[in-house]
């Protein structure tokens, strides 16, 4: 019964809420009139005249206005009605001030949009779960801060060899499934078996048979890879990405069960992944195909990693069983790792070589750090971590500057309305109501700005993705705001409205109404009345200066990086990255293929010289090898796991890429597989390993001391940047492609054979290198239609890819810095204009007493420059402290660069002077008579 009564009361209140105020008032008035008439009839029946009876009934009935308000209050929803009234009042005020509204909304839209765009990326990279089943149960073995392939001890293990993965999988019962997968997608050439079209380039990834089951991924069509597919002697199978299936194959269902040639090997496509699944890692260009892990030896018969116990190339993610404690499991797998290392490293797998074995003794320091795997592998995220944190900080500063601007505008409005506020207070308006109305107006501005900011965020995120990954064909990040992003935007919007509306609301409610009306609202401005505005202005100037310094440091750093001496020439050079299919090209066929390749490349019209190598400068490739020097008992060490870089190159390589020969000779046509084995070293190698002697004529080798005499050093080339343009030049040695030595260690023998396979082709051409793309592509397809051509780029484009992150961060920081400068200038202009308006009478009196135009302009400029000077005083130490946090993003620039700080001071001062000069000039044009007449 009570429940029915409560529901009836709720229904009554809802009806009252949605009923219009006018209708409610009419009904109340009609009901009160009925009661008055009944009372009047009763009095009239007692013998009182009709007119007097009406007056008596009215007096007894009481104040109808008060009764009507009490009736509203009795509905229980009066607070909501008052909010609606405040909203309508705020909207009317905004509509009557279109200039203020447009300025405020655009200012906030830019600030909120900038923050939401960056948060969209942070949410996608760090907070969003993989589209898999129960992602919270997934845990990664390692923090995934390294990728690729590596050997030796890692300390904190993130990469695993297949034998180590098997050991951990079989000895960790706390995981219901533990999957392994290749740490980086592999480039493959794919074409339909029996088709005439040349092979096309795709990305693939080797995965264990329980990979899809571990992630809980069900196929969209066909089936996924299982343990039965991932066994020795099983036929290779692959699962295709839904996006690849739909965009490259037209969603053709007939390809399921069809055989394709991967690097010339037959592989059967057995299924299609669901549309949302992009793999285990959020990265540009995710895998197009997932291939059974046991097929890896077929793709790399000469240097297979599959059974190499000391080559780490796999990531591992597992699904914990219910109730398992991650901390205990971490301790367990760490113990398993150390046990496995002791059995394999220390048990004598180095053929008695003490030099190498000494590097692998510290097994007690090796450990595995388990990390939540709900977002997948984290390796790619580390590339953008520092930049995203910086951009989030910068966008937050821009939002604070925007808030200060809007607060100044609202302060000016509330101060100008002080007489109206005083009248309302004198008539009995509550101060809480005044505060609420000003806050409501601020929230309305914020909500309008937030709504427009979402559109800016969407466009901004798309632009950031294009800038940050412009060389990628696909990025699995949706620029559209998710529910989390929308929640973030709403929270920022509401918080922003409260922040910039609080101070004006508080100030608007202060003061004595009598004093305010007596002074006419305070038309004559004072320093005290301008203090809140100037305080916010100081805040804007401080933050703006910090942003300008950050922009200057990053811009100067990027310029130093891009225009440094790389040790090669990029003009007129074209680079191709290929993947030579090892199953089709055993070592015995390589010499003939390279001879035909060189002949075909030099036949292309306009080619001056052609070469090929393991990798070229800044193309993302590279390998390191320990070296031995003949005549040196102890070889200097670059670090515990750091060795010189090795590169196998053809004749004309240094000429083609534009690296100068400093001494001796380069590698040329006479350096064949059957000639004397030679090596060319760079300056860093010569300086590090031969500090006080001439290296020409000396001998060196790879790995153990017994190979110290394998290669004679015949030349020295200038240093060149091969890996990271922001790091010091790395000691590098170059060997002819087909010259090799034989090793007793099987793993090293396979490793050296693998270095005979090229991945990079270089052309030096006349004219524009981009005009030779089609000619190079055609020449390579003529040689072999199965050849996987990963990319063809100009040398400038290849080098430019190294600065993608830095350019993105610098451009966005520069954009935000420019926006902050504009916002600060608007704030300066607003404060100066308001100061002139408030002091109009005072200026008129001064001019009437003889003050000239120049003196008036000077007075206004001085008043504005004081907060500028204070803001710079506060901003310089903050900028110095903040610059230390971006040190990792700087190259060749000191955090206290005097030129950057000077330019920032000059830019801010100049903009302040220009912004303040317009109101100052207007002040100097005031007519004293008119100003005194209004007083």
The per-residue pLDDT for range 55-78, each reduced to its tens digit, is 777 777 666 666 666 665 555 556
Q: Could you tell me the pLDDT band of residue 600, with boundaries at 50, 70 and 90? A: very high
Do residues 307 and 161 touch, judged by C-beta distance below 8 A?
A: no
More confident call, 666 vs 150: 666
Q: What is the pLDDT of residue 510?
A: 61
pLDDT-above-90 percentage for the chain: 27
Average pLDDT over residues 255-260: 92
- Ranked by mean pLDDT, the top range of 148-152, 482-486, 870-874 is 870-874
Give yes or no for residue 239 having a pLDDT over 50: yes
Cα dist from 666 to 525, 656, 671, 823, whole Å: 80, 12, 10, 58
**In whole angstroms, what is the distance from residue 368 CA to residue 175 CA?**
15
More confident call, 234 vs 469: 234
**In whole angstroms, what is the distance from residue 375 CA to residue 138 CA?**
9
Q: What is the pLDDT of residue 478?
A: 78
More confident call, 668 vs 692: 668
| Strand pairing class (289-292; 265-272) | unpaired
Low-confidence winner among 382-386, 674-678, 720-724 (lowest mean pLDDT): 382-386
Partner residues linked to 377 by β-bridges: 281
Q: What is the pLDDT of residue 170?
A: 92
Q: Could you tell me the pLDDT band of residue 355, with boundaries at 50, 70 and 90? A: very low
Per DSSP, the residues of 775-797 read: HHHHHHHHH-TT-EEEEEEEHHH
Average pLDDT over residues 287-305: 88
Q: Could you tell me the pLDDT band of residue 319, with boundaries at 50, 70 and 90? A: very high
Give yes or no for residue 126 having a pLDDT over 90: no
The per-residue pLDDT for range 737-791, each reduced to its tens digit, is 988 887 776 666 767 777 888 989 999 999 899 999 999 988 988 888 778 788 8
Average pLDDT over residues 201-218: 93
Structure tokens at 139: 């845990």
Q: What is the pTM of this model?
A: 0.75
Q: Could you tell me the pLDDT band of residue 424, with boundaries at 50, 70 and 90? A: low
- Ranked by mean pLDDT, the top range of 187-201, 284-298, 355-369, 472-486 is 284-298
Give yes or no for residue 823 having a pLDDT over 60: yes
Q: What is the pLDDT of residue 225?
A: 94
Task: List b or e across 226-240, with b for residues whose CB sees 16 or more CB atoms inside 10 angstroms.
Answer: beebbeeeeebbbbb
More confident call, 765 vs 358: 765
Low-confidence winner among 60-69, 186-195, 482-491, 674-683 (lowest mean pLDDT): 60-69
Residues 6+ apart with CB under 8 A from 127: 375, 484
Average pLDDT over residues 151-167: 86
Q: What is the pLDDT of residue 715?
A: 95
More confident call, 249 vs 355: 249
**In whole angstroms, what is the distance from residue 752 CA to residue 710 CA?**
13
Give yes or no for residue 520 having a pLDDT over 70: no
Low-confidence winner among 86-100, 293-307, 404-418, 908-922 (lowest mean pLDDT): 404-418
Average pLDDT over residues 597-604: 92
Average pLDDT over residues 515-540: 60
**In whole angstroms, what is the distance from residue 835 CA to residue 154 CA?**
65
Low-confidence winner among 73-77, 559-563, 695-699, 900-904 (lowest mean pLDDT): 73-77
Give yes or no for residue 392 having a pLDDT over 50: yes
**In whole angstroms, what is the distance from residue 358 CA to residue 626 CA?**
13
Give yes or no for residue 664 having a pLDDT over 80: yes
Q: Could you tell me the pLDDT band of residue 353, with boundaries at 50, 70 and 90? A: very low
Do residues 639 and 656 touch, judged by C-beta distance below 8 A?
A: no
What's the mean per-residue pLDDT of the chain?
81
Give yes or no for residue 349 having a pLDDT over 70: no
Closest Cα to residue 895, out of 903, 905, 906, 884? 884
More confident call, 474 vs 512: 474
Do residues 824 and 544 touch, judged by C-beta distance below 8 A?
A: yes
Give yes or no for residue 516 having a pLDDT over 50: yes
Half-sphere exposure of 376 (CA within 13 A, CB side): 23
Low-confidence winner among 407-416, 564-573, 608-617, 896-905 (lowest mean pLDDT): 407-416
Average pLDDT over residues 215-235: 92
The per-residue pLDDT for range 533-557, each reduced to its tens digit, is 677 788 888 888 988 998 889 889 8
Average pLDDT over residues 818-828: 82
Residue 675: DSSP 8-state: S
- Ranked by mean pLDDT, the top range of 45-49, 463-467, 792-796 is 792-796
**In whole angstroms, what is the distance from residue 86 CA to residue 74 CA?**
20
More confident call, 555 vs 383: 555
Task: List b or e across 318-351, with b for residues whose CB sees 16 or more CB atoms inside 10 angstroms.
Answer: bbbeeebeeeebbebbbebbbebbeebbeeeebe
pLDDT-above-70 percentage for the chain: 81
Q: What is the pLDDT of residue 321?
A: 92
The per-residue pLDDT for range 442-475, each reduced to its tens digit, is 788 888 888 888 888 888 888 888 777 766 778 8
Q: What is the pLDDT of residue 695?
A: 93
Q: What is the pLDDT of residue 274?
A: 95
């Amino acid at each position: 019964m009570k429940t029915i009564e409560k529901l009836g009361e709720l229904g009554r209140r809802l009806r009252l809420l949605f009923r219009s105020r006018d209708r409610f008032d009419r009904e109340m008035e009609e009901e009160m009139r009925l009661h008055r008439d009944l009372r009047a009839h009763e009095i009239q029946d007692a013998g009182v005249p009709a007119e007097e009876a009406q007056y008596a009934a009215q007096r007894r009935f009481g104040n109808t206005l008060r009764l009507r308000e009490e009736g509203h209050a009795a509905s229980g929803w009066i607070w909501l009605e008052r909010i609606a009234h405040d909203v309508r009042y705020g909207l009317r005020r905004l509509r009557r001030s279109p200039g203020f509204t447009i300025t405020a909304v655009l200012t906030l839209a830019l600030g909120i949009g900038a923050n939401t765009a960056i948060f969209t990326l942070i949410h996608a990279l760090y907070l969003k779960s993989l589209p898999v089943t129960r992602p919270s149960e997934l845990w990664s073995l390692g923090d995934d801060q390294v990728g690729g392939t590596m050997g030796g001890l890692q300390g904190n293990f993130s990469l695993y060899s297949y034998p180590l993965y098997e050991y951990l999988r079989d000895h960790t019962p706390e995981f219901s499934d533990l999957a392994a997968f290749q740490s980086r997608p592999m480039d493959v050439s794919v074409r339909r078996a029996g088709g005439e079209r040349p092979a096309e380039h795709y990305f693939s990834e080797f995965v264990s048979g329980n990979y899809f089951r571990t992630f809980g991924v069900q196929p969209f069509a066909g089936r996924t890879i299982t343990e039965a597919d991932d066994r020795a002697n099983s036929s290779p199978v692959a699962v295709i990405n839904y996006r690849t299936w739909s965009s490259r194959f037209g969603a053709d269902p007939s390809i399921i069960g069809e055989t394709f040639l991967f690097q010339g090997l037959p592989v059967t496509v057995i299924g299609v992944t669901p549309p949302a699944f992009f793999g285990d890692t959020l990265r540009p260009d995710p895998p197009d195909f997932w291939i059974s892990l046991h097929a890896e030896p077929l793709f790399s018969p000469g240097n297979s990693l599959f059974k190499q116990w000391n080559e780490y190339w796999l990531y591992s993610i597992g699904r914990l069983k219910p109730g398992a404690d991650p901390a205990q499991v971490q301790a367990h797998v760490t113990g398993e790792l150390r046990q496995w290392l002791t059995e394999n490293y220390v048990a004598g797998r180095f053929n008695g070589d003490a030099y190498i074995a000494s590097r692998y003794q510290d097994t007690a320091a090796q450990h595995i750090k388990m990390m939540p795997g709900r977002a997948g592998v984290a390796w790619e995220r580390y590339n953008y971590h520092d930049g995203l944190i910086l951009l989030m900080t910068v966008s937050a500063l821009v939002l604070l500057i925007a808030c200060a601007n809007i607060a100044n505008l609202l302060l000016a409005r509330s101060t100008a309305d002080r007489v109206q506020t005083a009248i309302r207070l004198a008539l009995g308006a509550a101060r809480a109501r005044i505060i609420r109305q000003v806050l409501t107006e601020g929230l309305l501005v914020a909500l309008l700005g937030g709504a427009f900011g979402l559109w800016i965020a969407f466009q901004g995120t798309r632009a950031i993705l294009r800038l940050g990954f412009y060389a990628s064909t696909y990025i699995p990040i949706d620029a559209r705001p998710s529910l989390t992003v929308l929640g973030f935007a709403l929270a920022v919007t509401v918080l922003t409205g409260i922040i910039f509306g609080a101070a004006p609301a508080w100030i608007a409610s202060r003061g004595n109404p009598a004093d305010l009306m007596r002074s006419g609202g305070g038309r004559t401005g004072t320093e005290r009345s301008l203090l809140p505005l100037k305080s916010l202005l100081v805040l804007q100037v401080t933050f703006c200066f910090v942003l300008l310094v950050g922009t200057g440091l990053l811009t100067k750093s990027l310029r130093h990086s891009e225009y440094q001496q790389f040790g090669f020439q990029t003009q007129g050079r074209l680079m191709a990255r290929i993947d030579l299919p090892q199953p089709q090209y055993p070592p015995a066929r390589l010499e003939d293929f390279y001879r035909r390749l060189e002949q075909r490349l030099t036949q292309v019209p306009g080619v001056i010289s052609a070469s090929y190598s393991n990798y070229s400068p800044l193309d993302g490739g590279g390998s390191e090898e320990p070296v031995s020097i003949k005549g040196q008992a102890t070889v200097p060490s670059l670090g515990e796991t750091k060795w010189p870089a090795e590169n196998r190159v053809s004749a004309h390589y240094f000429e083609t890429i534009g690296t100068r020969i400093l001494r001796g000779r380069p590698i040329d046509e006479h350096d064949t597989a059957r000639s004397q084995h030679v090596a060319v070293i760079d300056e860093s190698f010569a300086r590090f390993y031969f500090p006080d002697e001439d290296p020409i004529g000396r001998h060196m080798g790879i790995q153990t001391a017994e190979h110290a005499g394998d290669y004679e050093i015949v030349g020295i080339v200038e240093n060149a940047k091969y890996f990271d343009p922001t790091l010091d030049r790395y000691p590098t040695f170059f060997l002819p492609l087909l010259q090799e030595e034989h090793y007793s260690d099987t793993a090293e023998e396979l490793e050296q054979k693998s270095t005979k396979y090229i991945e990079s082709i270089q052309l030096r051409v006349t004219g524009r290198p981009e005009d030779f793309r089609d000619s190079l592509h055609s020449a390579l397809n003529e040689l072999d239609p199965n050849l996987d051509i990963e990319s063809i780029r100009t040398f400038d484009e290849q080098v430019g890819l190294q600065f993608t992150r830095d350019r993105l961060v610098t451009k966005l920081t520069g954009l935000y810095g420019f926006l902050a400068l504009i916002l600060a200038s608007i704030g300066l202009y607003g404060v100066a204009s308001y100061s002139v308006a408030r002091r109009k009478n005072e200026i008129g009196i001064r001019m009437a007493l003889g003050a000239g135009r120049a003196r008036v302009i000077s007075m206004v400029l001085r008043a504005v420059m004081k907060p500028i000077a204070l803001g710079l005083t506060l901003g310089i130490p903050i900028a110095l402290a903040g610059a230390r946090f971006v040190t990792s993003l700087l190259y060749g620039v000191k955090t206290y660069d005097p030129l950057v700080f000077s330019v920032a001071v000059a830019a801010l001062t100049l903009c302040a002077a220009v912004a303040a000069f317009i109101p100052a000039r207007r002040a100097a044009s005031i007519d004293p008579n008119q100003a005194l007449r209004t007083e």
